[in-house]
Amino acid sequence: MTGRWWQIGLGVLLVSGLIVIGGAGAAILGLGGNDYPTADSVDAGFARDMSIHHRQAVLMAGLARDRSTDAEIALIAYDIESGQLAQVGEMQGWLSLWGLSQSTGEPMSWMGGHGGMDMSGSGAGLMPGMATADDLDELRAAEGAEFDKLFLQLMIRHHQGGAQMASFAAEHADMRPVRTLARSIANSQAVETRTLTDMLTARGGTPLPVP
């Protein structure tokens, strides 16, 4: 238990540091000029909602990193956890620099109806591809090969939903660095989705419906 709490504390410190770094990077890249994005802009909405979306991926990946006995799954889970944690810090740093709340209002409102809500069909108020509380409880209760397949299924669907959000921001955000990060997320999650799908197939599983 002590080791687990040490990991959680380290994660909190890492996110805090990444927020500071994200804010500094934003200033260097021109995100901190006089023309700040507004609270209802695509830039701010994407930063808020994708941060929340990423945090769930970090949670699921952390479970897989700690609990999977499959070395290949543990490795890709670590990559997802560390990569998305860094991106959360960057996006939260932007919001801090812009003087905007880091909590979200109406999820997906920045997509102007293009993204829809509850695209995963998994419950009211969820962003595309996100797991429900029941999904997460099932993942925590699963073991062995069952855990591995469920993790892969949930992460594939999660990535597919996140890529939809990122693709919209890459086309419609005002700030160039926001568009750049969004495009990077969309591209990287498309590649990871193919890898995760191959891993799931090799383990006798099939993907969940596309969100």
Each residue of 130-147: pLDDT tens digit? 999 999 999 999 999 999
Asked if the structure places residue 121 within a domain, the reply is yes
What does the angle CA 207 – CA 151 – CA 76 come to, to the nearest 5 degrees? 100
Residue 95 and residue 55 in contact, taking contact as beta carbons nearer than 8 Å: no
CB neighbourhood size of 117 (10 A):
16
Full domain range(s) for residue 76? 38-99+117-202
Q: Which residues contact 154 (CB under 8 A, 6 or more apart)?
A: 60, 131, 135, 139, 208
What does the angle CA 69 – CA 74 – CA 76 come to, to the nearest 5 degrees? 150
Asked if the structure places residue 207 within a domain, the reply is no
CATH of the domain at 83: 1.20.1260.10
The series of mean pLDDT values per 10 residues for the chain, 211 residues long, is: 42 48 47 76 96 97 97 98 97 96 83 56 72 97 98 98 97 97 97 98 97 91
Residue 128 and residue 161 in contact, taking contact as beta carbons nearer than 8 Å: yes
Asked if the structure places residue 139 within a domain, the reply is yes
Each residue of 29-69: pLDDT tens digit? 445 556 889 999 999 999 999 999 999 999 999 999 999 99
Asked if the structure places residue 24 within a domain, the reply is no
Asked if the structure places residue 163 within a domain, the reply is yes
Q: With H, G, I as helix, E, B as strand and everything else as coil, classify residue 41.
A: coil
Rounded Cα gap, residues 194 and 152, in angstroms: 11
Domain tally, the chain? 1
pTM of the model: 0.82
Residue ranges of alpha helices (H) inside the chain are: 2-28, 42-67, 71-98, 133-141, 144-172, 176-202
Asked if the structure places residue 13 within a domain, the reply is no
